[in-house]
């Protein structure tokens, strides 16, 4: 029989093999019958028998059965982890519900009985495995306890037996399926035992087994592997198996490709690739393997597209570009962008969640880097539209109490968030946000329907479309909108529509940029809007200044007056209820009020100004200037020229000019010196500026070569504050500015001046050298009935008769003030100079007009300064003169004649009209001959003889007192003689008490220089033979 069969069937080993296999088969039947403790004994006996005959395949099966039976006892709930849920749609008495309830009851009863058996057996093994003994009740000890305690495997023994069984299976080439199943079982038990590495080793053995399986079996194998890898936390390996299973679902060898299952497995592998369906989580965490993630997302896009769901494919491709942008090369970016643009033609991407059939929600994906936003800046309103608080007068709330105790309010820091804007927006006014965008793609990118994303009050965002150039060329985009309500407005970001995808680009989701999560701005109620226009030329170059909405250019000659009509139009939808007009400039207030004059009552009487209505006011302009002083030019040349002029020209610190006019008028050298010019700074306005060191009041300059002086420009700002509507009730207003560029062109200039005695004692001549600084001939009217034509760039001397300044206008001397040795002009003389200057300014106004035009103006003598000897001629003398010849009173302009050798008796009386006494007066009478050439001859010893004193001293002359003096004179030779009758006194005039009590001699400083009062006009006597 051995020779016939080829095996020794009657041998002892064969009988043992058969016995072992039968025992193992009996153990399987016993285990299937639920007799677990009997099956353990049979598996143990079968293993011992099969091991002796080297029947490795059946030995491995016996070990595997022993492990399964032991696992049932040790882990009774390993296969009952699914909880049944009540179907609320079934009624309590329905047959389906009763059957299901019975099934549940039977299963629970079976599990309870099995658990009791396990507890009874496992309690005997308490000494060998304390962890397993916790599952068995202490009161269950039966007759098989001792036997089972020796055969039930511990947790470590189960793993060891499984390894031995797998090794025995591997010895047979055709036992791959059995080996695979054993490895899966061992891995599941290792998972139950929480031995992750041990389970991983069993699963790794499954991977190495080479089996000839169908595609469905391969898919099941990879899905099982991925499930077990997930249970032990090997997510990356689980994801790898899921991707392999997904590729098998759609492989070429699969006759029925299933893209739905492929997409499902790809989506489930996200966790293993460190991906999330939420884009912000991926960008924030920034973990994983970018190359694998990009590849997975690409395959996901393909799966969604092959499923016939273009919206899902667009969403995943948008997700890929959003989260993987920084990991893509330039070529990949371009490729994916073009692919997205093509894919979105089938279905546009929208920033809304997508819900799949299995209930999975795909969050929205936004292209936050296409285009790339470099800056996001909220813009304040234009300067003239910015709301301002209406200034209100502060109310007296009681006394101010100071305490050094701090209650925390002083040290408390501001809790104002950084996102809160300092400025305000206005309801129904367009607001702007500036963006700096870049296109990182190598082709032009069109971004349409850009809008602001807001939260809070109702906000109407205006769409914007822009085409961005390629290769990161920066472009500035302005997004606008209109707040419909007042309150708090929060700017969250902006929305775009590019590459066929609509995106909500929120600032909080833009990484690597220093943007706040949001920006908030306060929106106040609606305010009116107005427009300012004028009837003169506009200047558009200056409207970029703050608050300036209109700029005008006006040219005036110095001394010319003009008018400008200012019209205010309400261009908004809210009436103007409040209006305030003011003028601002760099000038002092007094000078500004002379140049710019207006009456805002013409505007206020039209309040309220309804929408699309206007109101007009007149703005008067005057070319204020200082017409006095020498022309600033070549001072050195002027002084040299002045020296050569002699005594026939008026003295000036300026350049020598050709004089024309009344040359027959007597001239003197006693004009204002440079010292007096320096004193004028205190007597005149601070309006003018000059380069001369003598006067800070000169406004024009004429070079020594007589070129035209430069004009001046004055910038005035007419500020209009207005409000109305709800914003006015909240205390807000707006401010608009009209900028007036006023150019002042030189007209005439008074370069020299002097005073001369007139024919009557009540007047004097103010001699002026007037220079025409224009390029045209002008007509100068210096009295009511006299005028003179002056050629362009020419000077002319004119005499202006002026009434002398009465004593009533003279200041009262302060008798308690002492003279200052450092100041040669005491304050009292300055007061007299100021009074005389104001007197001349009030009486003398020069009127000029350009010949052939309507341009005319005036020239004022405001600020004219006078020397001390000029003051005696300008003001009425404090002494009242009475002169007699041979006891006959002399009348003004009366000529007296006598024969040579005749004795003429001259009587002089003076009366003090001041309100104080005069001391140390000197009354003198002297004779001279005027040769009419500017030379006076006082050396008349051989021609005139006087009897009596021609000079007397008056120590004291009280107020309203008179003093009389007489002398006689004899003329030896015929001719025309003049008598110079004068009374002099020191500058420091002492009071009567001091002059009476103080007998000390007067110091030289107090004696010189002196006040000199002359009898005007001089007494003229004609002597004949």
pLDDT digit string (tens) for 325-366?
999 999 999 999 999 999 999 888 898 999 988 889 999 999
Domain spans of the chain, in order of start: 10-76+152-212, 214-256, 274-365, 372-390+419-524, 530-628+713-742, 746-809+829-872, 878-990+1008-1023
Rounded to an integer, the average pLDDT of 958-963 is 86
pLDDT at 390: 87
Of 25-29, 710-714, 737-741, 786-790, where does mean pLDDT reach its minimum? 710-714
CA separation for the pair 566, 534 (Å, rounded): 5
DSSP reduced 3-state for 425: strand
**Tokens 């590019």, located at residue:** 498
Q: Confidence class of residue 545 from pLDDT cuts 50, 70 and 90?
A: low
Q: Confidence class of residue 139 from pLDDT cuts 50, 70 and 90?
A: very low
**Half-sphere exposure (CA, 13 Å, Cβ side) for 936?**
13
CA separation for the pair 241, 46 (Å, rounded): 38
pLDDT at 907 over 60: yes
User: Taking a C-beta distance cutoff of 8 angstroms, is the pair 984, 1012 a contact?
Assistant: yes
pLDDT at 702 over 70: no
Per CATH, the homologous superfamily of domain 10-76+152-212 is Tetratricopeptide repeat domain (1.25.40.10)
pLDDT at 416: 63
Q: Confidence class of residue 1004 from pLDDT cuts 50, 70 and 90?
A: very low
Rounded to an integer, the average pLDDT of 932-945 is 86
- Which CATH number is correct for 878-990+1008-1023, 3.40.630.10, 2.70.160.11, 2.60.40.10, 2.30.33.40? 2.60.40.10
pTM value?
Answer: 0.68
CATH topology (fold) of 746-809+829-872: Immunoglobulin-like (2.60.40)
Helices 56-74 and 155-170, packing angle to 10 deg: 150
pLDDT at 89 over 70: no
pLDDT at 778 over 50: yes
User: Taking a C-beta distance cutoff of 8 angstroms, is the pair 509, 280 a contact?
Assistant: yes
Rounded to an integer, the average pLDDT of 262-267 is 92
Tens-place pLDDT, residues 555-584: 999 999 999 999 999 999 999 999 999 999
Phi then psi for residue 448, to 5 deg, are: -115, 165
* Angle of CA points 132, 133, 139, to nearest 5°: 150
Q: Do domains 10-76+152-212 and 372-390+419-524 have the same CATH topology?
A: no
User: Taking a C-beta distance cutoff of 8 angstroms, is the pair 890, 904 a contact?
Assistant: no
- Strand extents, DSSP E, 632-724: 712-723
pLDDT at 124 over 50: no
Q: Confidence class of residue 235 from pLDDT cuts 50, 70 and 90?
A: very high
Rounded to an integer, the average pLDDT of 716-722 is 92
**Tokens 């309500």, located at residue:** 485
Tens-place pLDDT, residues 794-826: 999 999 999 888 877 777 665 444 544 444 445
Kindly state the tokens that stand for 891. Answer: 């009348």
Rounded to an integer, the average pLDDT of 906-923 is 85
What is the tally of helices (H) and strands (E) in the chain? 26, 40
Task: Tally Cβ neighbours within 10 Å of residue 851.
Answer: 12
**Tokens 């000038």, located at residue:** 587
Tens-place pLDDT, residues 421-441: 999 999 999 999 999 999 999
pLDDT at 712: 87
Could you tell me which of 16, 40, 12 has the C-alpha nearest to residue 26?
A: 40
Fill in the DSSP letter of residue 271: G
Tens-place pLDDT, residues 884-905: 888 888 776 677 889 888 899 9
pLDDT at 685: 34
CA separation for the pair 858, 846 (Å, rounded): 5
Per CATH, the homologous superfamily of domain 530-628+713-742 is Immunoglobulins (2.60.40.10)
Distances (CA, A) of 884 to 591, 609, 896, 913: 52, 78, 11, 20
Tens-place pLDDT, residues 650-671: 433 333 333 333 333 333 333 3
CATH for the stretch 372-390+419-524: 2.60.40.10
Mean pLDDT of all residues belonging to the chain: 79
Fill in the DSSP letter of residue 182: H
Rounded to an integer, the average pLDDT of 59-64 is 93
pLDDT at 680: 40
In sequence order, the β-bridge partners of residue 583 are 718
pLDDT at 132 over 50: no
* Angle of CA points 116, 122, 123, to nearest 5°: 90
Q: Confidence class of residue 622 from pLDDT cuts 50, 70 and 90?
A: very high
Of 57-66, 279-288, 827-836, 850-859, where does mean pLDDT reach its minimum? 827-836
What does DSSP say about strands 763-772 and 748-757: parallel, antiparallel, or unpaired? Answer: antiparallel
Q: Confidence class of residue 42 from pLDDT cuts 50, 70 and 90?
A: very high
Sheet containing 845-850, strands listed edge to edge, beginning at the edge strand earlier in sequence: 787-790, 778-781, 845-850, 856-860
Percent of the chain at pLDDT exceeding 90: 42
pLDDT at 626: 86
Tens-place pLDDT, residues 175-200: 999 999 999 999 999 999 999 999 99
Kindly state the tokens that stand for 120. Answer: 């009874």
**Tokens 């103010």, located at residue:** 766
Could you tell me which of 920, 1013, 1023 has the C-alpha nearest to residue 977?
A: 1023
Could you tell me which of 443, 463, 444, 442 has the C-alpha nearest to residue 452?
A: 463
Q: Which is higher by pLDDT, 138 or 35?
A: 35
Task: Tally Cβ neighbours within 10 Å of residue 3.
Answer: 5
């Amino acid at each position: 029989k051995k020779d016939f069969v080829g095996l020794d069937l009657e041998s002892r080993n064969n009988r043992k093999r058969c016995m072992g296999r039968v025992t193992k088969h009996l153990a399987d039947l016993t285990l299937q019958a639920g007799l677990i403790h009997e099956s353990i004994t049979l598996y143990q006996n079968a293993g011992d028998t099969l091991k002796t005959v080297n029947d490795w395949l059946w030995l491995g099966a016996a070990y595997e059965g022993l492990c399964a039976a032991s696992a049932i006892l040790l882990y009774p709930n390993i296969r009952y982890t699914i909880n049944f849920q009540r179907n609320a749609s079934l009624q309590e008495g329905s047959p389906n519900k009763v059957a299901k309830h019975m099934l549940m009851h039977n299963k629970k009863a079976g599990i309870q009985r099995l658990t009791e058996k396990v507890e009874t057996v496992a309690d005997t093994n308490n000494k060998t495995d304390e962890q397993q003994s916790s599952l068995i009740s202490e009161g269950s000890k039966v007759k098989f306890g001792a036997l089972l305690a020796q055969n039930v495997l511990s947790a470590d023994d189960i793993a060891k037996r499984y390894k031995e069984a797998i090794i025995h299976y591997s010895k047979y080439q055709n036992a791959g399926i059995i080996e695979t199943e054993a490895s899966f079982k061992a891995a599941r038990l290792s998972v139950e035992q929480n031995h992750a590495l041990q389970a991983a080793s069993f699963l790794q053995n499954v991977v190495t087994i080479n089996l000839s399986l169908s595609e469905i079996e391969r898919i099941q194998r990879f899905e099982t592997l991925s499930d077990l890898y997930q249970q032990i936390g090997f997510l990356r390996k689980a994801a790898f198996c899921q991707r392999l299973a997904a590729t098998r679902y759609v492989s070429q060898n699969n006759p029925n490709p299933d893209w739905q299952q492929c997409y499902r497995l790809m989506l489930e592998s996200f966790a293993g690739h460190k991906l999330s369906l939420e884009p912000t989580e991926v960008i924030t965490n920034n973990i994983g393997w970018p190359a694998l993630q990009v590849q997975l997302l690409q395959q996901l896009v393909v799966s969604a597209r092959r499923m016939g769901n273009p919206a899902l494919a667009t969403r995943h491709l948008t997700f890929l570009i959003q989260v993987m942008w920084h990991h893509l090369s330039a070529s990949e970016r371009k490729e994916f962008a073009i692919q997205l643009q093509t894919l979105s033609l089938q279905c546009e991407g929208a920033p809304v969640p997508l819900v799949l059939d299995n209930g999975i929600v795909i969050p929205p994906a936004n292209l936050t880097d296409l285009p790339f936003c470099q800056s996001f800046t909220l813009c304040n309103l234009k300067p003239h539209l910015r709301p301002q608080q209406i200034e209100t007068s502060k109310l007296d709330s009681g006394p101010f109490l100071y305490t050094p105790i701090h209650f925390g309010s002083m040290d408390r820091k501001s809790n104002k968030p950084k996102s809160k804007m300092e400025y305000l927006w206005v309801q129904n006014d367009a607001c702007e946000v500036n963006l700096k965008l870049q296109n990182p793609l190598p082709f032009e990118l069109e971004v349409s329907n850009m809008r602001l994303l807001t939260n809070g009050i109702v906000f109407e965002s205006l769409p914007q479309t822009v085409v961005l150039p390629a290769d990161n060329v920066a472009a500035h985009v302005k997004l606008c909108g209109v707040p419909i309500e007042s309150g708090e407005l929060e700017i969250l970001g902006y929305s775009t529509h590019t590459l066929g995808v609509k995106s909500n680009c929120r600032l909080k989701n833009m990484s690597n940029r220093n943007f706040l999560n949001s920006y908030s701005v306060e929106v106040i109620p609606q305010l009116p809007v107005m427009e300012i226009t004028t009837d003169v030329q506009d200047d558009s170059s200056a409207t970029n200044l703050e608050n300036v909405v209109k700029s005008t250019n006006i040219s005036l000659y110095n001394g010319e007056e003009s008018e400008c009509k200012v019209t205010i139009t309400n261009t908004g939808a809210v009436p103007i209820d409040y209006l305030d007009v003011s003028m601002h400039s760099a000038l002092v207030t007094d000078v500004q009020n002379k140049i710019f004059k207006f009456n805002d009552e013409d505007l206020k009487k039209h309040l309220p100004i309804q929408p699309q209505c206007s109101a007009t006011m007149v703005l008067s302009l005057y070319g204020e200037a200082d017409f006095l002083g020498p022309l600033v030019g070549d001072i050195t040349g002027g002084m040299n020229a002045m020296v050569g002029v002699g005594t026939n020209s008026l003295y000036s610190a300026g350049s020598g000019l050709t004089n024309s006019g009344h040359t027959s008028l007597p001239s003197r050298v006693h004009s204002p010196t440079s010292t007096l010019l320096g004193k004028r700074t205190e007597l005149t306005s601070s309006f003018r500026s000059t380069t001369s060191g003598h006067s800070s009041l000169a406004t024009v300059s004429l070079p020594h070569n007589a070129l035209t002086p430069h004009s001046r420009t004055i910038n005035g700002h007419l500020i209009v504050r207005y409000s109305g509507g709800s914003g006015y009730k909240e205390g807000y207003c707006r401010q608009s500015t009209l900028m007036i560029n006023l150019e002042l062109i030189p007209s005439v200039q008074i370069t020299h001046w002097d005073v001369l005695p007139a024919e009557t004692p009540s007047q004097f001549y103010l001699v002026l050298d007037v220079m025409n600084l224009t390029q045209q001939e002008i007509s100068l009217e210096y009295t009511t009935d006299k005028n003179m034509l002056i050629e362009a760039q020419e000077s002319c001397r004119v005499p202006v008769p002026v009434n002398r300044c009465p004593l009533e206008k003279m200041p009262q001397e302060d008798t308690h003030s002492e003279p200052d040795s450092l100041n040669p002009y005491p304050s009292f003389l300055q007061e007299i100079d100021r009074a005389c200057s104001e007197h001349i300014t009030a009486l003398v106004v020069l009127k000029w007009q350009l010949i052939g035009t309507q341009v005319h103006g005036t020239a004022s003598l405001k600020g004219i300064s006078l020397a001390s000897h000029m003051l005696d001629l300008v003001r009425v003398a404090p002494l009242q003169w009475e002169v007699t010849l041979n006891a006959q009173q002399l009348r003004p302009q009366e000529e007296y004649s006598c024969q040579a050798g005749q004795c003429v008796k001259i009587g002089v009386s003076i009366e003090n009209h001041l309100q104080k006494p005069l001391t140390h007066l000197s009354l003198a009478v002297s004779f001279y001959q005027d040769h009419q050439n500017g030379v006076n001859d006082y050396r008349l010893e051989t021609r005139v003889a006087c009897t009596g004193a021609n000079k007397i001293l008056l120590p004291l002359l009280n107020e309203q007192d008179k003093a009389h003096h007489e002398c006689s004179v004899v003329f030896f030779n015929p001719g025309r003689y003049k008598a110079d009758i004068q009374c002099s006194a020191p500058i420091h005039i002492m009071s009567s008490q001091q002059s009476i009590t103080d007998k000390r001699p007067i110091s030289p400083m107090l004696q010189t220089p002196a006040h000199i009062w002359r009898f005007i006009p001089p007494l003229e006597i004609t002597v004949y033979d």
